[in-house]
A and B are shown apart, each in its own frame.
Chain A
Amino acid sequence: MSRKAGPSRLEHALRPWRRANRMARWLVIAGTVITLVFAVLAVFADQIAPYGQDQYRYEVAGAPVDDDGDPVLESIPRRAEPGAGFPFGTTSARFDVFSRIVHGARVAFGVVVLSTVVAMGIGVPLGLISGYRGGRVDRLLVLVMDAVYVFPPLLLAIIAAFVLKEYLDPGLPSAAVAVGAVYIPQYFRVIRNHTLSVKQEPFVEAARSLGAPPRTILGRYVFFNVVQSVPVIFTLNAADAVLTLAGLGFLGYGVPYPQAEWGLDVSRAISDVVSGFWWTAFFPGLAITLLVTGLTLVGEGLNDIVNPLLRVRGYTGKVPARKEPTAEATRESDDEDITDLAKTGVV
């Protein structure tokens, strides 16, 4: 039973990962790879993109010099097909599609990160307090959050963007706050419900019986057991946020043109599609789909890993590791999984 050295905290944190089934791990790995590719594009956008996001002319080596001694700039061709110089082609505004995708990744990540900070920063503490305190505070907060939650996310984001116009110039921060507002109720709900269940655990009463003040109980006993559900909501919401941002951009409520933003680009490319220029809409659309898929894969995989109950329910292959009767498994665990099985057998 006793191994020599105590496992480190890191090892403890990674334990669910090692216990997870192969499927869940693959989901996370595949999703992470996709997401990382976009993250690299976002961080090193300036180095990777051959052109700026709104650059329509470029310098050509050995070109003639004008009166001021500056080289004469060559215009980027209009609506060039994907090819040698412009791998994803160019737009009618002479922008390089590839460069806009790369810069758009930066906007997408910026918004995802910022909106998450907003949503988490408000949703998580409120959820904790609401769940732990209960009573009137809880009822009021739930009412407000539910009221917010009934709005379709996109509509809510548009309303938020509208309201924010008064205080913030249109741009990445305002788009991020608008998107973030949408996800506050989601963090709130998940954290509140999880807090409600953790609050019932005997170890929370134990903390009280040891004389811990509510602050300590909430911080050391409740929070650390609730926080594990945050990465799951985060990745799933991030995927959704990318979509919402694209939706906002598509409708013209997101970052202002000519800043690179995928939704915006798709929207501006609609007329191109009709004229047969498929690439201006296709590549931004593909970028949205890929990043959303990547984040969703991570989220779904993490969900399987972090939430063992779900893991058992969805399990079809081998018997999950947690079910194995360890040396001194409690009596309850000895019998628990007959429940479902026997239903099929009794009648």
Chain B
Amino acid sequence: MTDHVVANRAPAGGPEPVLRVRELVAEYATPRGALAAVDGVSFDLHPGESLGLVGESGCGKSTLGRALLQLMPPGGAVRGRVELGGRDLVGASLPVLREIRGKDVALVFQEPMTRLDPLMRVSDHFVEAIRAHRPGTSRREARAMGRAALAQMGIPPTRADNYPHEFSGGMRQRIMIALGIVLRPQLIIADEPTTALDVIVEAQILDILDALRRDSSVGLILITHNLGIVAETCDRVAVMYAGKIVEIGDVRQVFSAPKHPYTKGLLASTISLETTRLHSIDGTPPDLVTPPPGCRYAPRCPFVMAHCTDAVPLYAEPEPGQLAACYLYPGANADGRATPREDAEVAR
């Protein structure tokens, strides 16, 4: 596959991507048939880069986060390729995945309390996590590593031996992040990490994630519904709609000149301090068991054209590095720049 379908090639001479995702499909079985919550997603993530995955509920962003690590619920299936440091995770064995999940990739979720054992001291969480992946580490060493990671997150070392319930929501999220980074992962996947938190604590946590990424050049995938958070913390943004990435590109470029009509609509409907008029998008997202033909946004799109429903649009590159799957731009047509092979695959 050429890099055309994939957003953003590596900068010339730049390092290899941490994560390379190709044609990822994540399906759930439902009584009505297969539901592809993620349907053919491709992107790269480079060291020290943060990618915002943004979209509304049901667009598949959370499923994508899970599918990257093969964390699908029973009945879910993942196809495609997810390469982490050259290893393909799709089809990897469970022991391999476990190893990767704790050590190479840190996961940060919305509700930290559900992931901390209420009967274990915070320091013991660190001992357990560290020794599971580095069996040779002594308890003393593991505790010291834990304390350092906690301090980095602004949690006093005097509180390392407290129980999770003795911390506030924001502190727990810091603990979760500290737990995630203590083994120096290459990649952090954060799924709505601040949705349950207040705006000030949210800003604090985002600062922490940002600092982390800059200091240790770890890759960050930030899954959120909040465009403001993406604008504040991400280098690139991928906008998802109905299981597909409809637009991906540099965050400044996408926010200042969105190309896909859905991105435009989403940005316009965001209410900010400067909002003087309300905008909204008509209609509702499609049913993913029987998605509409062609472009999935066509039924709601204000710029819809007759041929939009003929075939799934390919990625056009209206600006360098900014891809949009939309027929408004040359290159989206099958007879455009894309090769027939890609056409067949993307329009599957």
Contact = CB atoms under 8 A, between A and B. Distances in A.
- The reply to whether A and B meet directly (CB within 8 Å) is yes
A341 B109 CA distance: 12
A334 B57 contact: yes
B57 A331 contact: yes
A154 B60 CA distance: 54
Contact of A346 (B72, B102, B286): B102
A331 B69 contact: no
B251 interface: no
B71 A319 contact: no
Nearest to A312: B73
Contacts of A318: 29-31, 75
B321 interface: no
A321 B58 CA distance: 14
B62 interface: yes
B28 A346 contact: no
Contacts of A327: 58, 284-287
Contact of B29 (A319, A329, A339): A319
Given A1-B284, A328-B284, A339 B74 contact: no
Contact of B132 (A324, A342, A347): A347
B35 interface: yes
B74 A316 contact: yes
Contact of B179 (A316, A325, A346): A346
Q: How large is the interface on A (under 10, 10 to 19, 20 to 34, 35 or more residues)?
A: 20 to 34
Nearest to A18: B31
Interface in B89-121: 97-98, 101-102, 107, 109-111, 114-115
A63 B244 CA distance: 89
A347 B179 CA distance: 9
Contact of A341 (B32, B66, B75): B66
Most buried by A among B30, B60, B97, B102: B30
Contacts of A347: 102, 128-129, 132
Contacts of A317: 74-75
B288 interface: yes
A335 B107 contact: no
A319 B35 CA distance: 10
A78 interface: no
B285 A328 contact: yes
Contacts of B192: 331, 335
B225 interface: yes
B177 to A, nearest CB: 12
A335 B30 contact: no
A323 interface: yes
Given A325-B37, A327-B58, A334-B62, A343 B73 contact: no
Contact of B58 (A1, A326, A342, A345): A326
A326 B63 CA distance: 14
Interface in B16-61: 28-32, 35, 37, 57-58, 60
Contact of B114 (A328, A329, A339, A345): A339
Contacts of B317: none
A209 interface: no
A323 B114 contact: no
Interface string A37-74: 00000000000000000000000000000000000000
Interface string B252-295: 00000000000000000000000000000000111111000000
Contacts of A316: 74
B30 A342 contact: no
B115 A343 contact: yes
A346 to B, nearest CB: 6
A346 B104 CA distance: 11
A19 to B, nearest CB: 7
A330 interface: yes
Contacts of B284: 1, 327-328
A345 B132 CA distance: 12
A337 interface: yes
A66 B41 CA distance: 97
A328 B74 contact: no
- Nearest 6 Cβ contacts at the A-B interface: A319-B75, A325-B58, A318-B29, A345-B101, A319-B28, A327-B284
23 contacts: A317-B75, A318-B29, A318-B31, A319-B35, A323-B28, A323-B73, A324-B35, A324-B288, A327-B285, A333-B57, A334-B58, A334-B62, A335-B110, A337-B73, A338-B62, A339-B109, A342-B107, A345-B69, A345-B101, A345-B107, A346-B102, A346-B129, A347-B128
Given A338-B62, A342-B109, 6 more contacts: A319-B74, A323-B28, A325-B37, A325-B288, A339-B111, A343-B114
